[in-house]
Structure 1
Amino acid sequence: MSMLSTEVEILEENVSSGAPRRPNVLRRTFSSPQAWIGVGVLVIIAAWAWIGPLFAPDPETTDPLAFSQSPSGAHWFGTNSIGQDVYAQTLVGLQKSLVIGFIAGPAATVIAGFVGALAGYVGGVWDKVVVWIIDLLLVLPAFYILVLLSPVFKKLSWIALVFFIAVFSWMVMARVVRGQTMSLRDRDFVKAARYMGVGTFTIIRRHIIPNVASLLIIDATLGVGAAILTESTLSYFGFGIHAPDVSLGTLLSQGTSAAVTRPWLFVFPAAVLVVTVLATSLVGDALRDAVDPTSGANRD
């Protein structure tokens, strides 16, 4: 029995493609200039968001001599109608948007990976229930659901917003993971583990998830940008972050009415938002090109 166990373990290690592919995927990813550009820009943006406020004015302090002032040496992004520094407020808003994006995006991927893998592996009634829930949530517009739930955000902290963004962002990837799991559960190494009495959750953790890890990493990366956009859109329309908190969405909302007369109130937060989302998209696209063997970037 011990020799059989050893042979099964060797078979699992040799057949399972998750672990060996990971270094190759990373190598192919960072062979692309867009991956380096995306990662570099994200690192710079994150460092700027947390280090920049140390050298910026207090975002809540008003300058009575600089109401609605255009960008200058004293106020790099100008000031708003009550004399608050737009540069300092943009950094604070960027912090909040990044935190929401980097929590909600991966959290949605974790939900998708667990639910999709469990449905695809177990099958039966559980699979039918999960598919029904996914189809229902895909039919219902997630944005409008979040709008309807916005009173909850206002009563609770912004953490509630993060939770609900993640809860309504996992369905598409869950279907992908479910389909991949249904093909993996018939592989020899999964059958061997099942015949040896390995539990369902252990098989999913050790053999299913590693083989779909590349897809999950891509989804988590792209999900960061999607979560930032979702939060910004909700906050822009007054359904997301609310005072005293600040995000890029709230700054865009405040600056829209003055986009023509005082464009700095809108342009700078919008530019920061676009660059941040574009950087996450570059990293996600590079990962997708590295994983997809049919991608034009990987053709010799």
Structure 2
Amino acid sequence: MAEKQKRKATTGNLWYEAWIRFRRNKLAMIGLFMVIALLSIAIFAPFIAPHDPAKQLIWTEGVKAKLAAPSAEHWMGTDLYGRDIFSRIIYGARISLQIGIFATIVSLVVGVTLGALAGYFGGYVDDIISWVINVVFAFPFFLFVLAVVAVFKNPGMIVIFISIGIVTWVPIARVARAQFISLREREYVEATKALGLPTSRIIFRHILPNAIAPIIVQATLGMGGVITTEAGLAFLGFGAQPPTPSWGLMISEGQRYLTTGQWWWAIFPGLAIMYTVLAFNFVGDGLRDALDVRLKR
């Protein structure tokens, strides 16, 4: 019991020290505030958006609302149907974050489970899982997601985030496998084996908590890629369907008007994607530096 309490206290101190290092990283803190702002916008979208994102304002404001340039009334202009771009971008944050979060959860479940089994058992189990990892990694990532989504005529949110999640688990599995290989021979693990504890408890109760830090970093860094993938699917017409306010779909619809002067329809959603990817990359880089004990001063 004393040893267990000591280990918990040590773990708590390590996380506290990691937070201190993270807080000293200016880019990481900027990224954290950016993520918090993005989450707040997504949660309170109905109170922030000045217009209904699906409402075609040409019916109330006339033809002048069609492809209207940014103004005091419409900060980011309107699209071909008179819908307010600013309101659609705000609601689009919900779509991107939902898919990003749930797809990452799917990839964590698959990646951590397979990586833990490979790293803990080794031998034939490790060989088989490593072979699967290499096969999935070798296959063109976006084409695989596109093929899975294309099977469904009208893919919904669940299909999209599961499709993305089942092909983004490879980096997480590799990190988990490496961590379990390095931790499975530790004294406390050998002690749990000697006590006859179930393998599942050893893996998920005793080893995983000590391997979770780099897995969290990898998942955070992968969020930007997941959101970009969702935008790419929507751009090609395989993601969210109209009139859903998806950033990728807005870029797809507005690209043809870039050369005719109505640049706002595609540019502002693109900036929203860039903002989101930068935010999660800043946080991921900050977590990586903060949780790396080699950087401890």
Question: Normalized against structure 1, the TM-score is what?
Answer: 0.89
- Could you tell me whether the CA contact under 8 Å between 2:54 and 2:243 is conserved in 1? no
Match of 2:39 in 1: 46
Tell me which residue corresponds to 1:97.
96
| Corresponding residue for residue 162 of structure 1 | 161
Give runs of ≥4 in structure 1 deviating > 4 Å. 11-20
Letter in structure 1 aligned against 2:134: D
**Cα separation, partners in 2 of 1:265 and 1:15, compared to 1, 3 Å:** closer
CA contact (8 A) 1:108 1:166 kept: yes
Q: Counterpart amino acid of 2:15? A: R
Given the alignment, which residue of 18, 24, 30 partners 1:31?
24
Query: How far, CA to CA, are the matches of 2:125 and 2:42 in structure 1?
Result: 44
* Structure-2 separation of matches of 1:15 and 1:222: 27
| SS of equivalent residue, structure 2 residue 151 | helix
Change (3 A) 1:51 1:176: closer
SS of match in other structure, 1:81: coil
Contact kept, 8 Å, 2:54 with 2:244, in 1: the verdict is no
Per the TM alignment, residue 12 of structure 1 is displaced from its structure 2 partner at its CA by 9.1
Q: Equivalent residue for 1:180?
A: 179
Distance in structure 1 (CA, Å) of the matches to 2:254 and 2:128: 45
Residues 1:74 and 2:67 aligned together: no
Q: What letter matches 1:267 in structure 2?
A: I
DSSP 3-state at the match of 1:202: helix
Work out whether residues 105 and 226 of structure 1, in 8 Å CA contact, stay in contact via their aligned partners in 2: no
Q: Residue type of the partner of 1:50? A: I
Q: What CA deviation, in whole Å up to 9, does each residue of 1:134-178 have, x standing for no partner?
A: 011011112111111222344342111101111100112212211
1:31 Cα deviation after fit: 2.1
Report if the CA contact (8 A) 1:22-1:214 is conserved. no
1:121/1:182 contact within 8 Å kept: yes
> Any residues of structure 2 matched to 1:135-150 within 5 Å, and which?
135-150=134-149
Structure 2 unaligned blocks of 5 or more: none
| Unaligned stretches of 5+ residues in structure 1 | 1-5
Output the CA distance in 2 between the equivalents of 1:120 and 1:16: 26
Alignment partner, residue 3 of structure 1 = none
Q: Deviations over 1:61-119 (max 9, x none)?
A: 11222111101122111111121111111112121011111221233123222211121
Change in 2 beyond 3 A, CA 1:254/1:269: same
Change beyond 3 A, Cα 1:111–1:26:
farther
Q: Using the alignment, how far apart are the partners of 2:13 and 2:203 within structure 1?
A: 18
- Secondary structure of the residue aligned to 2:257 is coil
Indicate whether 1:194 and 2:193 are aligned.
yes
Instruction: Name the structure 1 match of 2:50.
Output: 56
Q: How far apart, in 2, do the equivalents of 1:166 and 1:127 lie?
A: 22
Change (3 A) 1:245 1:206: same
- CA–CA separation in structure 2 for the residues paired with 1:17 and 1:132: 37
1:20: how far off? 4.5
Mean Cα displacement is larger for which, 252-261 or 43-52? 43-52
- Confirm or deny: 8 A CA contact 1:112 1:170 kept in the other structure: yes
Counterpart contact for 2:149–2:163, Cα < 8 Å: no
Quickly say closer, same or farther: Cα 1:210–1:152, change in 2 above 3 A: same
Q: Deviations over 1:19-64 (max 9, x none)?
A: 5422222221122112221111111122123324334211121122
Q: Alignment identity in percent?
A: 33
Tell me, yes or no, if the aligned pair for 2:175 and 2:215 is still in contact at 8 Å.
no
Letter in 1 for 2:77: G
Contact 2:171 2:218 in 1 (8 A): no
CA shift, 1:299, in A, is 7.0
> 2:218 maps to which residue?
219
Q: Residue 14 of structure 2 is aligned with which of 11, 16, 21?
A: 21
Structure-2-length-normalised TM-score:
0.90
State yes or no: 1:131 paired with 2:124: no
Who is 1:274 aligned against?
274
